[in-house]
Amino acid sequence: MSSALEQLGAWFQERLDGALSESLRRAHAIELSRARMLVGVCWLLLGCCSLFLGLVQLTEYAGSLTVLGAVCTACILVSLALLRWGTSTRPSALLLCSMLTGAVIFSTFRMGSLAMATHAASMLLPVLSAYLLGWRLGLFFTLLSMLNAVLYPLYAGASYGGSDWLFSCFGAVFLLCGWVVSGLFLSSRIEAHAASERALKTLRDSESELASLIESTDDIVCSVDLDGRLIISNKAARAYFRRRFGKNLPRGEFIYAWLPLARQVRWKEWLAQARTGQQVREEMVIPPIEGVSSTVETTISPVLSEEGKVVKLTVFVRDITERKAAEARLSELHRGLVDASRLAGMAEVATGVLHNVGNTLNSVNVSANLLGERLRGMRVAGLEKGVRLLREHEADPGTFLTSDPRGRTLPAYLESATAQLVKERDAILAELRTLSDGVEHIRTVVGMQQQYARFSGVVEKVSLPELLDGALRLQATAFQRLHIEVRREYAAVPPVWVDRHKLFQILLNLLSNARHAMQESGRADPCLTIRVEPGGEGRLRISVVDNGVGIAPENLPRLFTHGFTTKKDGHGFGLHTSALAAEELGGVLSCESPGRGQGATFTLELPLQTLAAAASG
C-alpha cells in the first residue's frame, strides 16, 4: 500500500513539475515547494470555480456571481501561465491571494450573508498568503479577511445582533491564528532548509576535498560493492585500467577479472574477510605491464553504515616496488655495516692488546738491556785468570799460595770477586723477577683477549697497595733512568674485589702516560704521586698526579676519544681503552689539568659496593 502511495505521489509531483518553468524547477527547495503548491491550489480552485458556476445558476444572484466566477477563473489561468513561463512564484501568488480576498469580500457584501464573511474558504487566505508571500504580506491579506468578518455585521446594522458580531470576531481571531500557524510552519521550513543547505554545503565541501585528495594521489583508489564490482575509481586507477585493458573498466565489473582464476579465488576470500568488518592488508606481485612486473600493497577497508553494517568496500593499491628495492638495499647496507662494525671492534681489541703489551714490553726491554749490561760488567775475567794460575801451579799449590806474591793475593781477590758476584747475582735476580712479571702480564693480556668472547675477567680480592707497587716495579727502571721521584700516598683502605688484570692495565697506562709527560717537559724535578683514598658514598679513588707537560683546556673533552693523542708518536688507544675498561669495572676515569706546563691528575673511581656485590654473586 505504501509503495502504491509513493508511486502515486511521484506521479503527481511529475505532473506538478510539468506545469512549471525550467527556472522554477531548478529553484531552491522552498521556492520549488511554493511553485508546486500554487499549481496544485490553482488546479483545485479551477475545479471549485467550475462547481461554483454550476451551483450559482440556481440562486437569485446568478448574474453577478457568474461574472465573479469568470473573473476568478481568468485570474487562476493567468497565475498558471505566470508559473509556466515566469521565473518567480511571487507574481502568481500575489494575483491568487488578491483574487481570493476580493472574491470573499465581494460575495459577502453582494449576497448580504454573514456566513460568507466567516466561511471556511476564508481560512485559505492566511494559510496561503503567509506561506506563499511571507509574514508581512500574509498579515496584510489576513487583516483584510478579518476586517471583512468584523465590519460586515456593523454594516448590516439591525439585521444582526450582538451575538452575531461576537461570533464574527471569534472567526476573525481564528483567521489570525491561521496566519500565525502558517507563519510558524514557514519559519520552520526556512530554518530547516537553511540547516539542510549548510549541511549540504559542508558535505559538498568535504566531498570536494576528499575527491581532490583521492584524485591527487598516485595510489589506486576504488570503491566497490560487497562482491568487488566497481562503483567509482580515481584518476590513477583509471590510468592503470587503461594500461592493463586498453580501456576504462566499466562500472559493475569485478575489478580483478584480469587475474587468473586461482588469484581471483584468493581475492574473493579477502573480500569475504573485509565484509565481516575487518581491514585486509596484503602484498602481491602483479603481472608485468610492458615487460615490467611490480610489487603492490593492497588494502581493503570496509565502509560502515550508521547501523554498523558493511555497505561497500574501499580498495587502496600502492606500488611498493621501489620501497622493497630500497629495503633490500638497506638490508644489504646493514649487513655491510655489521661486518664493518665487527671488523672495527676486532681492530679496536687488537690495538688495545698491542698497546697494553707494548707498554709492558717497554719495561721488559729495559730490564733485558739492564741484565745484559750487568752480565757484561761481571768480573768473570778475573776469576778465569785466577783459575788459570791455580792450574799452572797445581803441582805445588802450597808453595804458590805462600811463596809467590801472586798466590798470596789470590785468596783476597777471590773473596772480593765472590762478594761482587753475589751482589750482581742479587741484582740480576731482582731484574729477572721484574722481567718475569712483565712477561706474565703480557701472557695474561693475550689470554684475556683470547677468551673475551666467552667470559669476562675473573673478579678477585685485591690489595691495592700491592697492585700499585707491582705496576710501579714494571716502570721502576725507566723512572730511575729519568730520575723521577715517586711518592706513595696510600690511605688505609680494605682489599677490594675487582678484575685484577683490567685494573692493572689501567694503572700501567696511566703510569706510562705520566712518565712520557714528565720526560717531555724536561723538568729537573720530575715527581709522580700515587694516591689511594676513599671517594665517599661507597667509592674508592685512585689518583695518578704528575708535574709534566699538562693538557690544554680545549683537549680535555676529547682526551678519552678513540684515536685522539697529543704525542708526536702516539696513537690514541691507551686512554680510550683505559676509559672503556673503567666502565666495564663499573667506574669512571677522568682527568684534570690547570693547563699546559702545569701537570695533570688522572683519577679512577670505582664503586666498592658494586664490586663486592659482583664478588658475592
Domain layout of the chain by residue ranges: 10-197, 217-319, 346-450, 459-616
Cell numbers 508571500 correspond to what residue? 133
Look up residue 459 and give its DSSP letter: E
Q: State residue 250 phi and psi, 5-degree precision.
A: -70, 155
Distance of alpha carbon 239 from alpha carbon 234, whole angstroms:
9
Strands, E assignment, 307-421: 310-319
| Mean pLDDT, residues 385-395 | 67
Specify the range with the lowest mean pLDDT, choosing from 14-18, 33-37, 453-457, 596-600: 453-457
Q: How confident is the model at residue 141 (pLDDT cuts 50, 70, 90)?
A: confident
Report residue 445's pLDDT band, with 50, 70 and 90 as the boundaries. low
pLDDT of residue 586: 83
pLDDT at 207 over 80: no
**pLDDT at position 414 over 70:** no
Grid coordinates standing for 291? Answer: 615487460
Give the Å distances, CA to CA, from 611 to 317, 419, 452, 496: 60, 49, 19, 7
pLDDT over 80 (residue 600): yes
pLDDT at 546: 92
* Helix and strand numbers, DSSP H then E, in the chain: 19, 12
Q: pLDDT band at 184, cuts 50/70/90?
A: confident
In terms of Cα–Cα distance, which of 549, 559, 545 is closest to 518? 549
CA distance 63 to 61: 6
Cell, residue 201: 554545503
Of 505, 466, 470, the closest CA to residue 358 belongs to 505
Residues in a beta bridge with 590: 603
For 420, the grid coordinates are 761482587
CA distance 163 to 174: 17
In contact, 550 and 594? CB cutoff 8 Å: yes
The x, y and z cell numbers of residue 124, run together, are 485559505
3-state secondary structure of 495: coil
- Judge contact between 258 and 289, C-beta under 8 A: no
Which range, of 326-335, 338-347, 395-404, 462-471, averages the lowest pLDDT? 338-347
Set of cell numbers at residue 157:
446594522
Name the percent of the chain in helix, strand, coil, to the closest 5: 65, 15, 20
Q: Which residue has the cell 761482587?
A: 420
Question: Which of the four pLDDT bands, split at 50, 70 and 90, describes residue 255?
Answer: confident
Average pLDDT over residues 198-224: 73
Rounded distance, CA 232 to CA 225, Å?
10
Greatest mean pLDDT range, 360-374, 441-455, 471-485, 527-541: 527-541
Assign 617 a pLDDT band (cuts: 50, 70, 90).
very low
Q: What angle do CA 519, 576, 600 make, to 5 degrees?
A: 40
**pLDDT score recorded for residue 97:** 85
Q: Find the helix or strand (DSSP H, E) in which 294 lies.
A: strand 292-304
Distance between CA atoms of residues 3 and 467, nearest Å: 105
State the DSSP H helix or E strand holding residue 539, giving kind and residue range, or none if neither. strand 539-546
* Whole-angstrom distance, CA of residue 428 vs CA of residue 370: 9
d(CA 151, CA 451) in angstroms, rounded, equals 123
Rg (CA), the chain: 58
Please report which confidence band the pLDDT of residue 400 belongs to, taking 50, 70 and 90 as the band edges. low
What pLDDT was estimated at residue 483?
A: 86
Instruction: Categorize the per-residue pLDDT at 377 as very low, low, confident or very high, splitting at 50, 70 and 90.
Output: low
Q: Which residues of 514-532 are buried (b: 16+ CB within 10 A; e: fewer)?
A: bbbbbbebebeebbbbbbb
Domain 459-616 class, CATH top level? alpha beta
List Cα–Cα distances, 528 to 266, 517, 565, in angstroms: 81, 11, 21
Render pLDDT for 447-493 as a digit per residue (tens, 0 to 9). 555 544 334 456 788 888 888 887 787 677 678 888 888 888 888 88
d(CA 389, CA 405): 12
Q: Are strands 527-534 and 485-490 parallel, antiparallel or unpaired?
A: parallel
What's the pLDDT at 401?
Answer: 63
**Is the C-alpha dihedral spanning 164, 169, 172, 173 positive or negative?**
negative
pLDDT digits (tens, 9 = 90+) for 276-324: 888 888 877 776 666 666 787 888 888 888 778 888 888 888 877 777 7
The pLDDT of residue 180 is 82
Q: What would the mean pLDDT of 415-444 be, rounded to a whole number? A: 69
191 exposure class (CB count in 10 Å sphere: 0-12, 13-18, 19+): exposed
Q: Kindly report which listed range (33-37, 577-581, 607-611) carries the lowest average pLDDT score.
A: 607-611
Which burial class, exposed, middle or buried, applies to 149 when counting CB atoms under 10 A from its CB (0-12, 13-18, 19+)?
A: buried
Right CATH for 217-319 from 3.40.50.1820, 3.10.350.10, 3.30.450.20, 3.20.20.370? 3.30.450.20
CA 571 to chain centre: 43
3-state secondary structure 31-58: HHHHHHHHHHHHHHHHHHHHHHHHHHHH
**What distance lies between CA 113 and its chain's CA centroid?**
86
Whole-angstrom distance, CA of residue 304 vs CA of residue 312? 7
Amino acid 544: pLDDT: 92
**Pairing label, strands 280-289, 292-304:** antiparallel
| pLDDT of 362 over the 70 cut | no
Element (H, E) at 589: strand 588-592
Tell me what the mean pLDDT of segment 599-609 comes to.
84
pLDDT for 381 equals 61
- Structure-model confidence comparison of residues 276 and 202, the more confident one: 276
CA distance 510 to 604: 10
**Statement: residue 596 has pLDDT above 80:** yes
